[in-house]
Amino acid sequence: MSAAFTDATATRDAVRSRKAKALEVTAWAIERARRANPRLNAFHEILEAEALEQAEAVDRRIAAGQDPGPLAGVPVAVKDNIATRLGRTTCSSRMLENYRSPFDATCVERLRGAGAIVMGKTNLDEFAMGSSSEHCAWGPVRNPWDDERVPGGSSGGSAAAAAAGLCGVALGSDTGGSIRQPASLCGCVGFKPTYGRISRYGLVAFGSSLDQIGPLTASVRDAALAYSVMAGVDPRDSTSAPAPVEDPLSALDRPIEGLRIGVPSQYLSQANDPDVNACVQASLDRMVKAGATLVPVELPLTDVGISTYYVIAPAEASANLARFDGIRYGFRAKARPGQSLDDLYAESRGQGFGPEVQRRIMLGTYVLSAGYYDAYYGRSLKVRRLIKAEFDRAFETCHVIAGPASPTPAFRMGGLADPLQMYLCDVYTVNTNIAGIPGISVPVGFVPRDGKPLPVGLHLQAPAMADALLLRAAAMVERLHPEAAQRPSG
């Protein structure tokens, strides 16, 4: 078996047309993941026996003449904050070290129903809080292009797995950039759909008004394929959008006539790495040559996005993470004489959560506490509306808005020790979540660092519910950058 099964669309075509068996595809992916994982630490768990069993079931369906589904035999790596019946769901936290979900997340259920194979659970920043995948209970994820650099975060394990070709589709979650920033740093496609487009049922909640699940893949087509299976209203998530899902695949390869790309002056900032700016500019130049028009737009609140986000997200996190109390599930501190119920909560949470999660809970508790609520949380919610209005205005003159997904390429492990400096990595991605609109990072080139090429992603954003249009624009960008499809060696 010499073929690569890392292209989800090609894999399912091969499996559906009986040119390959789901079992051989799965065995191939598992073997590849096993070999790469000691170096990358992308997977918490590789579910070999369970994956082979799922693959056999897909092969049996095909043998029986049944439709195996649009993702037949495609190995899927699931971020470990998304609930799966198979394996554990740890959120990379000691708090959930032994947690086994009694149910599948809706997105997992839909992927499995479409013939996809859950092959493992991927590493992440604890509870998806971080931009480097270093805040992990069982060691950091490494960037497949350079072991000494971070893969970005928080979906760093999924981004590394997708970029290194260890799976057909990786699932991530994105609260402030956690799909798009690691996709940019690892060199794969990372798509955060419109808020509410994919059910959050089974996603361990971080910031409920910001969280969205999405795919990380080798190509825009694979992202669109996975999205088309997962998207749509879910009775188990009251915030899932009831509007019908526009098919993203049928027109994907057709260029958008007269595409207008909004370029905010705030995005190609002097504070960015100059090589990243050059890469983004070169990509925009190619788009213009291909017939697109660049439109100057203004998003003056870009800069206060981080401030707004680091009030709203910790506030929601502090409420969501209150459920981890050591009683119903998760880590419980040792009993000791005289320990009250309140002591048990505080000791379990003090020992079960890592430092970054504790920091966010503390910040959230502070901004929601009496006397500070209006000044912080209340004010942030008002700025949130202004940020959304600013996007609405910009989209009156353009179809999509473009810029860098991350101000820098992958940085060195341990390079951003100060939490605030780490938070500033998300400057171009948090406002997407604040406004609830879709965003995607597409690889557009490399910058050399220490003799190694490091990927750079172009970030595109579109109006709410324009997910199909966004994917189509991303496919146009992708076609103009065949050289960016390169994979890391090893």
Partner 1 sequence: MSEVHPLTTKETAHVARLARLDIAADRLEALRSQMAGVLGHVARLKAIDVEGVEPMTTPFDHVNRLDADEPGPCLAIEDLLRNAPAVEGRCLAVPKVLAEES
Q: Enumerate the active-site residues.
A: 79, 154, 178
**256 or 383: CB nearest partner 1:** 383
Q: Torsions phi, psi of 122, nearest 5?
A: -100, 150
- CA-to-CA distance for 139 and 220, rounded, in angstroms? 30
Report in angstroms how near the CB of residue 79 gets to partner 1 at its nearest.
Answer: 20
Determine the residue type at 176.
G
Count of residues binding partner 1 (CB under 8 A)?
A: 75
Touching partner 1, residues 399-428 (CB under 8 A): 418-420, 423
Rounded to whole angstroms, how far apart are CA atoms 353 and 247? 41
**Residue with smaller CB distance to partner 1, 197 or 221:** 197
Q: At residue 483, what are phi and psi to the nearest 5 degrees?
A: -70, -20
Please, which of residues 266-305 interact with partner 1 by CB under 8 A?
301, 303-304
Sign of CA dihedral 241, 227, 131, 305: negative
Shortest Cβ distance from residue 388 to partner 1 (Å)?
A: 6
User: Which amino acid would we find at residue 238?
Assistant: S
Closer to partner 1 by Cβ: residue 135 or 384: 384
Nearer to partner 1, 222 or 347 (CB): 347
> Nearer Cβ to partner 1, position 7 or 174?
174
Do 151 and 186 touch, CB atoms closer than 8 A? yes
Task: Name which of residues 432 to 451 contact partner 1 (CB under 8 A).
Answer: 435-437
Are 35 and 252 a contacting pair, CB within 8 Å? no
Residues in 209-248 that interact with partner 1 by CB under 8 A: 209, 235, 238-239, 241-242
By CB under 8 A, name the one of 145, 206, 267, 353 that touches partner 1.
353
As measured in angstroms, the least distance from the Cβ of 425 to partner 1 is 14
Q: Applying CB under 8 A, which part among 51-59, 62-70, 125-133, 345-353 lies near partner 1?
A: 345-353
**Which is nearest to 127 in space by CA: 101, 165, 160, 94?**
94
Binding test (CB under 8 A) with partner 1, winner from 250, 265, 281, 339: 339
Positions in 100-139 near partner 1 (CB under 8 A): 100, 102-103
Within 448-487, the residues that bind partner 1 by CB under 8 A are 464
Of the candidate spans 93-101, 135-143, 267-275, 282-290, the one that interacts with partner 1 by CB under 8 A turns out to be 93-101
Of residues 183 and 241, the one with the C-beta less far from partner 1: 241
The nearer residue to partner 1, 255 or 329, going by C-beta atoms, is 329
Is the separation of the CB atoms in 387 and 305 below 8 Å? yes
CA atoms of 103 and 449, how far apart (whole Å): 44
Minimum distance from CB of 232 to partner 1 (Å)?
A: 13
Binding window for partner 1 (CB under 8 A); candidates: 262-270, 291-299, 355-363, 455-463: 355-363
- Residue 69, token pair as written in the block: 């589904």
Q: Structure tokens of 414?
A: 């341990």
List of residues 6+ apart from 202 with CB closer than 8 A:
82, 83, 101, 103, 104, 105, 106, 107, 108
Nearest CA to 429 among 313, 323, 305? 305
d(CA 88, CA 240): 25
Binding region for partner 1 (CB under 8 A) out of 52-60, 104-112, 290-298, 359-367: 359-367
Question: 2, 32, 9: which is closest to 224 by C-alpha?
Answer: 9
Cβ-based nearer residue to partner 1, 102 or 451 = 102
CB within 8 A of 238, min separation 6: which ones? none
CB-wise, 113 or 448, nearer to partner 1? 113
Q: Does 46 bind partner 1 (CB under 8 A)?
A: no
Residue the block writes with tokens 């899932």: 240
Binding to partner 1 in span 375-394, by CB under 8 A? 375-376, 378-386, 388
CA–CA separation, 432 and 353 (whole Å):
28
Shortest gap between Cβ of 56 and partner 1 (angstroms)?
A: 25
d(CA 302, CA 49): 47
Judging by DSSP bridges, how do beta strands 439-449 and 452-461 pair with one another? antiparallel
Choose which of 23, 363, 394, 454 interacts with partner 1 (CB under 8 A): 363
Among 349, 399, 459, 472, binds partner 1 (CB under 8 A): 349
Asked whether the beta carbons of 217 and 182 are under 8 A apart, the reply is: no
CA–CA separation, 445 and 74 (whole Å) = 27
Out of 344, 456, 458, 468, point to the residue binding partner 1 (CB under 8 A). 344
Preceding peptide of 238 cis, ω within 30°: no
Q: Among 11-19, 272-280, 289-297, 306-314, which window interacts with partner 1 (CB under 8 A)?
A: 306-314
Judged by CB under 8 A, the chain residues 191 through 210 that form the site for partner 1 are 195-196, 209
| Among residues 31, 67, 148, 343, the one that binds partner 1 under rule CB under 8 A | 343
